Amino acid sequence: MSKYDEAVRLLASPKTWCDGARQLAQLKDARAIVPLLAAYDRPVEAPTLCLADAMEALGATAEAAKLLASKLSDERVAAVRLMVVFTSDDHLPLLREVALRDLDVQLRERALDALRRQRQTPAWEDVIASFLALSDERLRGWALDRLIEHNGASTWARVEAHAAQEKSPTLRAKIDAALKARPAPH
């Protein structure tokens, strides 16, 4: 059994996964990111910082983009999850592309959720606002919800600017209600 395989086996138990994570990081083998992520996402009460540190040391942020280009659905799912754990403005256009065009409907929904969970930077705001130009009413509504939830001066300005162009009565009503209920600026 190789050192890589032995280290991956240590990820099976929270009692040994930090040892496995340390060994995998030392091996500098990016393949380890996916099994580290699987351990990280296990529903157990155990410290996971060592797993996140190992993934980061192995270049999880950059590797996520590579995995997203995979033909294998499991690797694309892992890529989207990595983009939640290791947020980056570089991921935003990739997530947008998956959310709009991936053939896997569930992966498109995961990408929308990943976009929602990114750091809300000006680049994030630009990507979310780009959904307002789509013909799909559901996606425009999703984008409006994100901009309204953000509750920043610039996002409210985008919502107001979009109001005049919105053709859907349902979404126009959503915008009107949100603008009326808008919290006062601090």
pLDDT in tens, 123-149: 999 999 999 999 999 999 999 999 999
- Contact status, residue 52 vs residue 40, Cβ threshold 8 Å: yes
Give residue 186's pLDDT. Answer: 57
Those residues whose C-beta lies under 8 Å from the C-beta of residue 42, and which sit 6 or more positions away, are: 14
Which pTM does this prediction carry?
A: 0.91
Share above pLDDT 70 across residues of the chain, in percent, rounded to a whole number: 99
Is the model's pLDDT at 185 over the cut of 80? no
